[in-house]
Amino acid sequence: MRFRDPYYLLLFVLWVPVLWFYITREKRQKASLRFSDLSVLKTIPATALLKLRHSTLFLFLAGTGYLIIALARPQVGVSDYELSAEGLDIMLILDISNSMRALDFQPKDRLEVSKERIVDFISRRENDRIGLVVFAARAYTKCPLTLDYNMLSQMVNQVTYTDFSNGTAIGTAIATAANRMKDSPEDSRVVILLTDGANNTGEIPPMAAAQAAAQLGIRIYTIGVGRLGQVPFPVETRHPISGAVTQRIQMIESDYDEEQLTAIAQMTGGRYFRAEDPKTLSEIYAEIDRLEKSDIVSQVYTNYSDHFFIWLLIGFFLLVLEQLLNNTLFRRIP
């Protein structure tokens, strides 16, 4: 609540002379009777009316107080918030090559852990269009840019290995994502590339694709996932006679081109990250979430409505009551 004309509240100062005048009058105007002996009168108890004789003063002060507040025009405001958000376009690129089956993120493989972290990243975004590109020997758009995060998360969870999982075409994946974002507004294009291998197939070199993305104003964050060196890997074998399929774990060499991933990120104004365990991968997506924030501008509009009438009504009622009591129950006889 606010007062439209708060300077009227200075009228409360007039209460001081009113109180002074009332107290002075009460001291001077004492009722008196000439009587030889007052001992009997002193035994008479004070009546309720006598005890309440000063209540009219409080009615007068309260009534004038309410009128003063009414003059100051109390107002109550209702605020409306207008939010305008300029979201980003984020294309997630996920490696689904066979090397993502490695079990160095036990108990799950690299792909399953990566999918969980991506879904968590999506859940923290607001006002951004997000899409998904998956790649191995080839690349394709699993989900175009969308604001339907539930559908996108379901599509991420459905990602699995395909018949073209042998190979890693990083350049093709970047080009596919850039093609999907070429019509997006400038300064709002972000690609997050997650891979555990080096480019070994595809018609488009990774650096050429990164250069084209940079010209479109696309920032690329690259994530190298998995431990380097010997890592456990599931291998399936089929019995030549029974045809039964069994799985065993063997150690394989894990390696990805950190130099190339770093160069891709630097060329486009992004950053390169390395994740050797699930916790670090979570921290990386959280860091990217902090780096890439949507611009949200809020404006507050407040509409004020006058509420002086109730104060005026109560003040008028109290003053009328004060006058009525002064001229009836508490009437002074000259």
* Residue type present at position 201: T
Write the pLDDT tens digit of every residue in 60-92.
888 788 888 888 888 887 766 555 556 799 999
Write the pLDDT tens digit of every residue in 187-234.
689 999 999 989 999 999 999 999 999 999 999 999 999 998 899 999
Q: Is 225 exposed, middle or buried (0-12, 13-18, 19+ CB in 10 A)?
A: buried
What's the mean pLDDT when you consider all of the chain? 84
Domain ranges of the chain: 1-15+47-79+300-334, 88-293
Which value, in Å, is the radius of gyration of the alpha carbons in the chain?
41
Q: Which of 33-42, 179-188, 306-315 has the lowest mean pLDDT?
A: 33-42
Question: Span 88-293: which CATH code?
Answer: 3.40.50.410
Q: Judge whether residue 57 has pLDDT over 80.
A: no
Percentage of the chain surpassing pLDDT 70?
84
Write the pLDDT tens digit of every residue in 227-280.
988 999 998 777 677 767 777 889 998 888 899 999 999 999 999 999 999 999
DSSP annotation of 77 reads E
304: left (phi over 0), alpha (psi -120 to 50) or beta: beta
Token pair for 233 = 């890997």
Q: Is 231 helix (H, G, I), strand (E, B) or coil?
A: strand
What is the pLDDT at residue 84?
A: 55
Question: In the structure, what pLDDT confidence band is assigned to residue 20 with cuts at 50, 70 and 90?
Answer: confident
Residues in the chain: 334
Token pair for 128 = 């951004």
Peptide bond into 107 cis (omega under 30): yes
